Amino acid sequence: MQQTVGFVGLGNMGKGMARNIRQAGFPLVVYDVQPEPVAELVQTGARAVETLVDLGTAVDTVVIMVRDLPQIQAILWGPEGLAAALKPGATVIVSSTISPSQARELAQTLTEHGLIYVDAPVSGGKARADEGTLTIMVGADPDVFAAQRPLLETMCQSLYHCGPVGAGQAAKMCNQLMAGVTLAASAECLALAAAAGVDRRLIFDIVTHSTGDCWMLRNRAIQMIEGGRTNSRLDFFLKDLGIVLDSAEELHLPLLVAAAARQWYLIGVASGYGAEDDVALVWPMEQFTGAKVKAE
């Protein structure tokens, strides 16, 4: 018999992920504080509930896709929280990005309550969440991974079992280190080109065909030069690189480059650009030099 799935957090990424679960045929119960995305999911055949307790008593597995650890904790342990309402043996899948040690702590507490925890952070952004072509990095016991595989596959193109709980977040953290650094470096590169008076589109062409090539330059330079949306907030990298650096500190690993990159995101947030698209990172650099990366 097919499990009933709950989904909490129908935001930028979560709405598309929930839609793909529903469209694959899973009975789906959804909860969000915003009424609009809930109404959209109801259109696809999902059932909406008013409280987390109603959701918890109705489902076998719940996917949580909210901003950060404090939101996850409020959902699980808050007054009228989810953890107390879930059936014994139910599974909690956390797709938010948190640190590996935070994931292990959540798993331990949920295990003490007779619940199962799965680490399942994602990569790919809103467009791939909508398409169901995310990358999902799972930390879970092998039998738990096997049991949840059909559900997870409805949301992704690439599914990696990275090890026990915490290993999924560790993999995500390694990617966010690279992504956050390469985006900041791409902004530095284009700001340097602008300040040096060389054509930024030519530099884009040269570097993406040379040893400096990276995904972020290929997928962010055009928005920096010509404008256009990325659907990824600048302040998310401040948070994700914070997880990278906190985890590295626990492990006694100095990360000079990731630490420096995080300062650019802090400069962006301090300049009031936290809720802007992540390419706003280049704006303070333009202000320093007076040379514009953005084409007139």
Give the residue numbers annotated as catalytic, written as ranges: 172
Does 127 participate in binding a copy of itself (rule CB under 8 A)? no
Residue 144 tokens read as: 């738990």
Interface of this chain with a copy of itself, residues 48 to 77, rule: CB under 8 A:
none
CA-nearest of 57, 53, 50, 59 to 80 is: 53
Does 243 participate in binding a copy of itself (rule CB under 8 A)? no
Q: Which is closer to a copy of itself, CB of 40 or CB of 246?
A: 246
Contacts of 82 (CB under 8 A, 6+ apart): 8, 52, 53, 55, 56, 62, 75, 76, 92
**Burial per residue of 202-239, b for 16 or more beta-carbon CB atoms within 10 angstroms, e otherwise:** ebbeebeeeeeebebbebbbbbbbeeeebebbbbbbbb
Q: Which of residues 116, 217, 224, 279 is near a copy of itself by CB under 8 A?
A: 217
Stretch that binds a copy of itself, among 11-19, 36-44, 142-150, 202-210 (CB under 8 A): 202-210
Residue 187 tokens read as: 């902004």
CB of 90 to a copy of itself, least distance (A): 27
**Rounded to the nearest 5 degrees, what angle is found at the Cα of 122, between the Cα atoms of 154 and 246?**
160
2 vs 226: CA distance, rounded Å? 48
Residue 173 tokens read as: 């953290």
Q: Which is closer to a copy of itself, CB of 50 or CB of 296?
A: 296
Q: Which is closer to a copy of itself, CB of 39 or CB of 257?
A: 257
CB of 119 to a copy of itself, least distance (A): 12
132 vs 143: CA distance, rounded Å? 24
Does 123 participate in binding a copy of itself (rule CB under 8 A)? yes
Calculate the CA dihedral of residues 122, 126, 127, 133 and round it to 10 degrees.
20
Q: Which of residues 41, 76, 184, 279 is near a copy of itself by CB under 8 A?
A: 184
CB of 116 to a copy of itself, least distance (A): 21
How many residues at the interface with a copy of itself, by CB under 8 A? 70
Q: Which residues pair with 62 in a beta bridge?
A: 6, 92
Sign of CA dihedral 5, 11, 12, 15: positive
Stretch that binds a copy of itself, among 31-39, 56-64, 84-92, 185-193 (CB under 8 A): 185-193
CB of 20 to a copy of itself, least distance (A): 19
257 vs 92: CA distance, rounded Å? 34
Interface of this chain with a copy of itself, residues 79 to 118, rule: CB under 8 A:
100
- Chain residues binding a copy of itself by CB under 8 A are 100, 123-125, 135, 137, 158, 160, 162-163, 167, 170-171, 173-179, 181-182, 184-186, 188-189, 191-193, 195-199, 202-203, 205-207, 209-217, 219, 244, 247-248, 251-261, 263-264, 285, 288-289, 291
